[in-house]
Amino acid sequence: MVFVVGIDEAGRGPIIGPLVIAGVLINEEDSTRLKSIGARDSKLLTGKKRILLGKQILKIIKNHKIIIVQPEEIDKAVHGYDALNLNWLEARKTAELINYLKSDRAIIDCPSPNINAYKNYLKKYLNNPEIELIVEHKADKNHVEVSAASIIAKNKRDYEVELIEKKIGQKIGTGYMSNPQCQKFVKENFDKHPELFRKSWMTYKKQVEEKEQKKLNEY
C-alpha cells in the first residue's frame, strides 16, 4: 500500500488575508475515486462546486492538514527575516505538512520558477530523506491528489475571508486587487485595519505613499 500526499496553496497573491497551504493524504488506489467525483484544479470550479467537492474529498482521503500563514508572517519573509523569501516560507510550511502526514510520496505544486532549487531547499526540512518527491509547475492540473489539496485550500481561504468580513462588518471582495470591491476597500481602509494587509505588497506601499504626499501638499 502506497500513501501519497498532495500539496497546494490558495491566496499567494492577494493583498488581504492569509495564505492557506493544504496537504491531503490518500491511499494511491483512491486517486481513481477522486477523479470519479470530479476533483480538479480549484480555479476551474465554481464556489458551490468546490464546497460540494470539498466535503466529498474529506470522505475519501485518509488525513489532511491545513496551515494558515497570516499577513505579518508573509511580510517578514518578503523582507528577508530568517533568510526567507516567499518561496522559502512556502517550502518550509510544505515540509511541515509532509512531516505531519507521513507518506511514501509527496506531489507538490511548485511556486518557484526554479524547480530544482525549490526541491533542494524543501529536502533540508524533511524528516524522511527517502520520501519520493514530485515537484512540478501546474501539478494541480496534472495530479488529482494536488487538485484535491487545491480545493481544500481554496475553501479554507474563502472561509477565512468570510471571517474577516464578519469581524470588521464590511465586504472586502476576494482580497485580490483585480476585484473592484477589494480595490475600493483597500483605498478606504488600508490605515484602519492594518493587520489585514500584506504591507510588503507594492499596492499597500503605494497607498501609504499617496497619503503621506497628500499630507505634505496640505502644508
pTM: 0.94
Residue 40: what pLDDT? 85
Q: What is the mean pLDDT of residues 5-15?
A: 97
Tell me the domain boundaries of the chain.
3-165, 170-212
- Distance, in Å, from the CA atom of 113 to the CA atom of 119, rounded to the nearest integer, reads 11
In angstroms, the first-to-last Cα distance of the chain is: 72
Looking at the predicted structure, is the pLDDT value of residue 91 above 60? yes
Q: What is the mean pLDDT of residues 186-212?
A: 90
Question: In the structure, what pLDDT confidence band is assigned to residue 28 with cuts at 50, 70 and 90?
Answer: very high
Contacts of 152 by beta carbon, 8 Å cutoff, 6+ apart: 22, 24, 54, 57, 58, 64, 66
Contacts for 183-192 with beta carbons within 8 Å, 24 or more apart?
185/16, 186/15, 186/16
Task: For the beta carbon of residue 162, count every other beta carbon within 10 angstroms.
Answer: 11
Domain 3-165 is of which CATH architecture?
Answer: 2-Layer Sandwich (3.30)
DSSP state of 86: H
Looking at the predicted structure, is the pLDDT value of residue 103 above 90? yes
